[in-house]
């Protein structure tokens, strides 16, 4: 998953979302009088993480990777999202390997013009190149936190909102591929990361009328007692969105976890979403006290289920849901 940077360095096939939500039976007066309320479930979130991790590392080209993509599509259908779009795009990694990225987007209320984009990557790092044991550097990463946790928040959001989100708000849940096969180390390696997102922005299924108001990227949101600072690129490119989400977290009682202070700068999917014209932030642990950057399990063999904190995931998911409910 991406790298942290210094403050001064800063066949494609896509089926457009279509379909409409059925009438819920509520009158217009009822809709206006009742504000939506959504509740995340910590056990449900953990189960979504576990379901991915038991497949094995979801590295590009592996069977576990294909199974995970299938699992995401199946779970979205079961949740009742209105439509699912799949984008297939050829990509080449920094070391010359060729893959087909498979981006998946579930749409809720696809005809609504007021939309929000949520995204997370589901692929995992092919190499544990940050592990303390050099002999483990070629071992694929389980990606419980770096990958599965963000996906779990999106799947929980689908479960909670797909059948109850007010018709006036549209929600796009984007699961991007090929995020975590980038080149580590110094130099201009920015474009070696987030290959799936770089392809997705070339074929975004939006017009000027229905382009999302903002986006939220969920990445590494399951660490033990994780604290989320205002990621630097988010703050620079989408400050109003950071303000909105951190205010919601504060009002939800989570100001100790969503700290209203600057964090690190991260090359991540939100960078390319912002450049495509959608203000997007990254909820990510970027200033861990033990490392000064990411969670200690980042790109190591320790990024497994033992590193997942149900309560952290509940706090993040509830903050996202409360943000949506407040629109």
Q: What is the pLDDT of residues 297-315, one digit of tens each?
A: 999 999 999 999 999 999 9
Band of residue 1 on the pLDDT scale cut at 50, 70, 90: low
* 42, burial (CB in 10 Å: exposed 0-12, middle 13-18, buried 19+): middle
pLDDT grade for 120, boundaries at 50, 70 and 90: very high
Q: What is the pLDDT of residues 21-75, one digit of tens each?
A: 543 333 343 434 466 899 999 999 999 999 999 999 999 999 999 999 999 999 9
Task: Report the distance separating Cα 186 and Cα 222, nearest Å.
Answer: 28
Whether residue 11 is predicted with pLDDT greater than 50 in this model: the reply is no
Decide if pLDDT at 91 tops 60.
Answer: yes
Q: CA-to-CA distance for 153 and 159, rounded, in angstroms?
A: 10
Tokens 């770089």 identify what position? 198
Give the E-state strand segments of the chain in sequence order.
3-5, 13-14, 83-92, 98-108, 114-121, 169-176, 214-218, 228-230, 258-262, 265-267, 280-283
Contact 284, 201 (CB under 8 A): no
Neighbours of 205 (CB within 10 A): 18
**Burial (CB count <10 Å: 0-12, 13-18, 19+), residue 54:** exposed
How many whole angstroms separate alpha carbon 71 and alpha carbon 304? 19
3-state helix, strand, coil in the chain (%, to 5): 35, 20, 45
Q: What pTM does this model have?
A: 0.92
Q: Which of 246, 293, 227, 245 is nearest to 265 (CA)?
A: 293
Higher pLDDT: 17 or 117? It is: 117
CA–CA–CA angle 111, 115, 118 (5° rounding): 120
CB contact at 8 A, 133 and 293: no
């Amino acid at each position: 998953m991406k790298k942290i940077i210094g403050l001064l360095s800063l066949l494609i096939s896509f089926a457009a979302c279509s379909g409409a939500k059925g009438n819920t039976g509520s009158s217009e007066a009822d809709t206006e009088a009742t504000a939506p309320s959504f509740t995340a479930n910590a056990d449900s979130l953990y189960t979504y993480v576990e379901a991915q991790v038991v497949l094995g590392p979801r590295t590009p080209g592996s069977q576990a990777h294909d199974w995970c993509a299938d699992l995401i599509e199946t779970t979205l259908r079961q949740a009742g999202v209105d439509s699912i779009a799949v984008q297939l795009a050829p990509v080449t990694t920094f070391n010359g390997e060729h893959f087909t990225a498979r981006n998946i987007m579930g749409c809720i209320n696809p005809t609504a013009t007021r939309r929000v984009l949520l995204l997370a990557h589901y692929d995992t790092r092919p190499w544990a190149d940050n592990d303390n044991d050099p002999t483990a550097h070629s071992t694929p990463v389980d990606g419980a936190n770096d990958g599965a946790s963000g996906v779990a928040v999106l799947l929980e959001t689908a479960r909670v909102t797909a059948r109850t989100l007010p018709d006036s708000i549209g929600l796009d849940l984007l699961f991007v591929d090929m995020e975590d096969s980038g080149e580590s180390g110094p130099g201009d390696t920015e474009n070696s990361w987030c290959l799936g997102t770089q392809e997705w922005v070339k074929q975004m299924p939006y017009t000027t009328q229905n382009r999302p108001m903002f986006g939220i990227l969920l990445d590494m949101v399951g660490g033990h007692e994780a604290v989320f600072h205002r990621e630097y690129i988010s703050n620079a490119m989408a400050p109003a969105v950071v303000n909105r989400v951190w205010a919601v977290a504060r009002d939800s009682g989570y100001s100790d976890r969503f700290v209203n202070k600057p964090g690190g700068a991260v090359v991540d999917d939100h960078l390319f979403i912002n450049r495509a014209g959608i203000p997007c932030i990254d909820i990510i642990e970027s200033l861990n006290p033990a490392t000064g950057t990411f969670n200690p399990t980042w790109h190591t063999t320790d990024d497994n289920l033992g590193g997942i904190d149900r309560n952290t995931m509940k706090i993040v998911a509830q903050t996202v849901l409360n943000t949506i409910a407040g629109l």
